Amino acid sequence: MENLMQNKEFILEYFNAISGVEKTPELVGQFTTDQHLIEHIAFFDSVFPKYELFADEITAEGNRVIVRARMTGKHEGEFNGIPPTYRSIDFPFAIGYEIEKGKIVSHWLIADQMHLLELLGIEKAVAE
């Protein structure tokens, strides 16, 4: 039970450490060795600089932590060919982490990309 609580606390520490700041490789490397997660974070920080993460619900089982969360930020970089809209977003998603030896070693992410396009005001142009 203690390990589950430590894993949850680690993820909260990670969210707090990378929220609202530039996500440098050194900072991110303190928490993860998962190269895909590192690339994902770098990409989203280039699109939504200094985005913030909020954990709405956290569950843990073994060395896995699942988070229902939100990302907030402002669209200031190109997103898959979409130029900056400078809109603020509050985007929900779910993410799972596998933790080994005090680091995130793998992850998965579920997010509604159509909702993100709606938040950016893009889906209306696509639908028309």
As a whole number of angstroms, the distance between CA 110 and CA 128 comes to 27
As a whole number of angstroms, the distance between CA 110 and CA 67 comes to 11
Give the pLDDT means over successive 10-residue stretches in the chain (128 positions).
Answer: 90 98 97 97 98 98 97 96 96 98 97 94 62
User: Residue 21 has what DSSP assignment?
Assistant: S
Phi-psi region of 83 (alpha: psi -120 to 50; beta: other; left: phi over 0): beta
Domain 2-127 has CATH 3.10.450.50: yes
119 and 86 in contact (C-beta within 8 Å)?
Answer: no
As a whole number of angstroms, the distance between CA 109 and CA 93 comes to 7
Rg of the chain in Å (alpha carbons): 15
Domain layout of the chain by residue ranges: 2-127
How far separated are the first and last CA of the chain, in Å rounded?
53
- Kindly report whether the global pTM for this prediction surpasses the value 0.75: yes
**pLDDT score for 127:** 47
49 and 61 in contact (C-beta within 8 Å)?
Answer: no
